[in-house]
Structure 1
Amino acid sequence: MRFSTTAFAYLTSALLSVLAPQTAQAGITAFSGSTCDGSAGLNVPCDGSCHKFDDRHSFRVDSGTGDHCVTVFEDPGCPEDGQGAFLPHQTGQCQNVNTGTNVRSFTCAKDTVCLLGV
């Protein structure tokens, strides 16, 4: 069996991409229970995008992905001028969301300063 240079390069590239360490992309999962129990929502990306939090009472950022900030809002749509609570240093532990008001939306970002819009 003969391999062309192109086929060899392709196979080598494919092998290296499988063996190379991959950067972990953090995700966040919200739960209906207060201690990351009850029904779990989807694991959504921790990339600064806004997500619903209705009927959820706790969350967990994927462990092993570094330090993240979660900001929760009492209004839907993560309004920049709305009432929000910063929850910095989320690194995989379960976080109960008891802010004294109903939480309707949240953002999660790889950020240790908890800046909105970054």
Structure 2
Amino acid sequence: MRFSTPTIAYLASALALALLPQAARAGITAFSGNTCDGAAGLDVPCDGSCHQFNGRHSFRVDGGSGGHCVTMFEDPNCAARAEGRMFTFTNQDGGCQNVNTGKGIQSFLCSSNNICLV
């Protein structure tokens, strides 16, 4: 079997891309327990989109992805309508964060860095 030079170059570049480390893309998982235990929710991206948190009491942002800001809301649609209805947690990177705010947290946003979205 003979390969042409462009074919070999293409295969070599595809192999190199497959072996290079990929940029860390953080996700966040919420849990029903207080210490990232109990039932786990979906691993959703830290991309600024609104996600539900009802019935959850802790969360973890994927480790090794750098600092992230997670903003929690009493509102189910990530709306901060009045003072004291949202809570921010910065420097989230792999550790478990208990969400003991004394309020019923319904939704959250996770930013891809430590700059909070609200």
| Unmatched 5+ stretches in structure 1 | none
1:115 positional shift: 3.4
Cα pair 2:69 2:115 within 8 Å, conserved: yes
> Which residue of 96, 99, 109 maps to 1:107?
109
Name 1:95's counterpart in structure 2: 97
Name 2:76's counterpart in structure 1: 76
Name 2:48's counterpart in structure 1: 48
Cα pair 2:46 2:109 within 8 Å, conserved: yes
C-alpha separation in 2, matches of 1:48 and 1:113:
11
Could you tell me which amino acid in structure 2 is paired with residue 14 of structure 1?
Answer: A
Could you tell me which amino acid in structure 2 is paired with residue 88 of structure 1?
Answer: T
SS at match of 2:69: strand
Could you tell me which amino acid in structure 2 is paired with residue 39 of structure 1?
Answer: A
Identical aligned pairs, as a percentage?
61
Count of aligned pairs = 116
1:2 positional shift: 0.9
SS at match of 1:42: coil
Could you tell me which amino acid in structure 1 is paired with residue 55 of structure 2?
Answer: D
Could you tell me which amino acid in structure 1 is paired with residue 78 of structure 2?
Answer: C
C-alpha separation in 1, matches of 2:18 and 2:54:
39
C-alpha separation in 1, matches of 2:3 and 2:14:
15
